Amino acid sequence: MTQMVSIAVDTGGTFTDVTLVDRRTGALHKAKTPSTPEDPSIGFVNGVRQILTEAGVAPSDVSHVFHGTTVATNTILEMNGAECALLTTTGFRHVLEIGRHDIPRADNVYSWVKPKRPVAPQRIYEIDGRMNFEGEELEPLAEDAVRRAAAEIRSRGIKAIAICYIHSYANPAHEQRTREIIAEEFPDALISLSSDVLPTFREFERSMVTLLNSYVMPKVSRYVANLEQRIASDEISGRLLLMKSSGGVTGVETIRRQPVHTALSGPAAGVVGASLVGRLTGEDKLISFDVGGTSADIALINGHDPDITMEGNIGDWPLSLPMIDIHTIGAGGGSIARVSNGSLVVGPMSAGAMPGPVCYGRGGTEPTVTDAHVVLGHLPPHLLKGSMALDLDAAAKAIERQVARPLGLSIQDAASGIIEIANNNMVGAIRVVSVERGHDPADFALVPFGGAGPLHSGFLTRLLGMKGSIVAPEAGVLSSLGLLWSDLKNDFSMTSILRPPSYDLEKLTAVFAQLNADAIAWLDAENVPAAGRKIEWSVGMRYIHQGFELSVPWPAQAVNEGALRAAIEGFHAAHHQLYTFSQPEMPVEIVLIRVNATGQLAKPRTQTVAAGTAIEEARSGAQKVYAGGQWLNCPIYDRTRLGAGATIDGPAIVEQLDATTYLLPGQRAVVDVHGNLFIREQV
Partner 1 sequence: MNHIVPENQLRNAPAVTPVTLEIVKGALRSAQAEMERLLQRTAMSPVIREKQDYFCGLFDRDGRLLIGTKLPILGNILAPILEEFPIETMREGDVYWYDDPYLSKGGVSHTPDQVFVSPIFVDGKIAGFTHSWAHFLDIGGMRSGSTTPDATEIFHEGILIPPVRLYREGVLNEDLFRTFLRNSRLPEMSKGDVRAMMAAVELGRRRMIELFDRFGVEGAHIAFDQLIRQTRDYARAQMHEIFKPGEYRFAELIDTDGHGTGPIAIRMTLTATKDRIEIDCTETDDQTRGPINFIMHPSCVQMMFGIYAVAGHPEFMFNEGLLSIIDEVKLREGSVIQPRFPASLGQRSVTLSRVTSACLGLINVASPDRAMGSSSAYSANKLRGTWAGSGEAFLKTMAIAAGQGARPNSDGPDAIYYLNQQNYPVEFAEQNYPLVVKRYAVNPDSGGPGRWRGGCGVIREFEMRSETASISLRMSNVDFPAYGVAGGMSGRSGQFIINPGRPDERVLPSLQDGVVLRTGDVLRIAMPGGGGFGHPFDREPERVLADVLGGFVSPESARDEYGVILDVASETVDLEATKAHRAAHRWQTKLLHRRDYFDPDQWWDHADSVTHAKHARS
How long, in residues, is the chain? 683
List beta partners, residue 597.
490, 535
User: What is the strand order of the sheet 124-127 is part of?
Assistant: 124-127, 84-89, 160-164, 190-193
State which of residues 408, 530, 616, 682 lies at the interface with partner 1 (CB under 8 A): 408
Nearest-angstrom CA–CA distance, 528 and 495: 28
Preceding amide of 318 cis, omega within 30: no
Q: Can residue 39 be called a binding residue for partner 1 (CB under 8 A)?
A: no
CB of 580 to partner 1, least distance (A): 5
List beta partners, residue 285.
302
Using CB under 8 A, which residues numbered 611 to 670 contact partner 1? 628-629
What is the torsional sign of CA 508, 320, 491, 286? negative
Q: Can residue 416 be called a binding residue for partner 1 (CB under 8 A)?
A: yes
The alpha carbon of residue 39 and the mean position of all alpha carbons in its chain are separated, in whole angstroms, by: 21
The residue among 208 and 390 lying less far from partner 1, judged by its C-beta, is 208
CB of 584 to partner 1, least distance (A): 12
Q: Are 222 and 209 a contacting pair, CB within 8 Å?
A: no
Q: Can residue 15 be called a binding residue for partner 1 (CB under 8 A)?
A: no
Nearest-angstrom CA–CA distance, 392 and 360: 9
Q: Can residue 137 be called a binding residue for partner 1 (CB under 8 A)?
A: no
Binding mask 246-265 for partner 1 (x = CB under 8 A): --------------------
State which of residues 38, 101, 502, 683 lies at the interface with partner 1 (CB under 8 A): 101
Task: Give 662: exposed, middle or buried? Use CB within 10 Å, 0-12, 13-18, 19+.
Answer: buried
CB of 115 to partner 1, least distance (A): 10
The residue among 123 and 641 lying less far from partner 1, judged by its C-beta, is 123
Q: Can residue 104 be called a binding residue for partner 1 (CB under 8 A)?
A: yes
CB of 581 to partner 1, least distance (A): 6
CB of 17 to partner 1, least distance (A): 32
User: What is the strand order of the sheet 588-599 is part of?
Assistant: 27-34, 15-22, 5-11, 62-68, 239-243, 249-251, 488-498, 588-599, 533-543, 550-553
CB of 269 to partner 1, least distance (A): 28
Nearest-angstrom CA–CA distance, 291 and 49: 28
Nearest-angstrom CA–CA distance, 299 and 306: 7
State which of residues 23, 49, 148, 202 lies at the interface with partner 1 (CB under 8 A): 202
CB within 8 Å of 143: residues ≥ 6 apart: 177, 181
Q: Can residue 106 be called a binding residue for partner 1 (CB under 8 A)?
A: yes
Using CB under 8 A, which residues numbered 50 to 79 contact partner 1? none
State which of residues 1, 113, 530, 531 lies at the interface with partner 1 (CB under 8 A): 113
Amino acid in the structure at residue 656: Q
State which of residues 1, 109, 610, 683 lies at the interface with partner 1 (CB under 8 A): 109
Preceding amide of 187 cis, omega within 30: no
Using CB under 8 A, which residues numbered 432 to 461 contact partner 1? 432, 435-436
Nearest-angstrom CA–CA distance, 347 and 364: 15
Q: Can residue 111 be called a binding residue for partner 1 (CB under 8 A)?
A: yes
Say how many residues touch partner 1, by CB under 8 A. Answer: 74
Q: Can residue 108 be called a binding residue for partner 1 (CB under 8 A)?
A: yes
CB of 300 to partner 1, least distance (A): 15
Nearest-angstrom CA–CA distance, 368 and 338: 9
CB of 360 to partner 1, least distance (A): 25
Nearest-angstrom CA–CA distance, 479 and 457: 18
CB of 234 to partner 1, least distance (A): 46
CB of 579 to partner 1, least distance (A): 5
Using CB under 8 A, which residues numbered 296 to 325 contact partner 1? none
Q: Are 523 and 533 a contacting pair, CB within 8 Å?
A: yes
The residue among 586 and 614 lying less far from partner 1, judged by its C-beta, is 586
Q: Which stretch binds partner 1 (CB under 8 A): 289-297, 324-332, 449-457, 540-548?
A: 540-548
Task: Write the secondary structure of 2-68 as one string of H (helix), E (strand) and C (coil).
Answer: CCCEEEEEEECCCEEEEEEEECCCCEEEEEEEECCCCCHHHHHHHHHHHHHHHHCCCHHHEEEEEEE
State which of residues 428, 500, 562, 584 lies at the interface with partner 1 (CB under 8 A): 428
Nearest-angstrom CA–CA distance, 297 and 433: 11
The residue among 401 and 619 lying less far from partner 1, judged by its C-beta, is 401
State which of residues 215, 459, 537, 543 lies at the interface with partner 1 (CB under 8 A): 543
Residue 218 has what DSSP assignment? H
Burial code of 427-450, b = ≥16 C-beta within 10 A, e = fewer?
eebbbebbeeeebebeebbbbbbb
Q: Can residue 122 be called a binding residue for partner 1 (CB under 8 A)?
A: yes
The residue among 185 and 413 lying less far from partner 1, judged by its C-beta, is 413
The residue among 136 and 234 lying less far from partner 1, judged by its C-beta, is 136
CB of 504 to partner 1, least distance (A): 15
Q: Are 243 and 268 a contacting pair, CB within 8 Å?
A: yes
The residue among 335 and 416 lying less far from partner 1, judged by its C-beta, is 416
State which of residues 4, 42, 120, 392 lies at the interface with partner 1 (CB under 8 A): 120
Using CB under 8 A, which residues numbered 461 to 520 contact partner 1? 497
Q: Are 661 and 678 a contacting pair, CB within 8 Å?
A: no
CB of 546 to partner 1, least distance (A): 6
Using CB under 8 A, which residues numbered 368 to 407 contact partner 1? 407
Binding mask 329-368 for partner 1 (x = CB under 8 A): ----------xxxxxxx-----------------------
Q: Which stretch binds partner 1 (CB under 8 A): 222-230, 382-390, 423-431, 524-532?
A: 423-431
Using CB under 8 A, which residues numbered 569 to 608 contact partner 1? 575, 579-581, 583, 586
Q: Which stretch binds partner 1 (CB under 8 A): 102-110, 476-484, 516-524, 613-621?
A: 102-110
State which of residues 107, 184, 506, 524 lies at the interface with partner 1 (CB under 8 A): 107
Contacts by 386-393, CB closer than 8 A, 24 or more apart: 388/360, 389/361, 390/359, 390/360, 391/358, 391/359, 391/360, 391/361, 392/359
State which of residues 15, 125, 204, 444 lies at the interface with partner 1 (CB under 8 A): 204
Using CB under 8 A, which residues numbered 158 to 187 contact partner 1? 166-167, 169
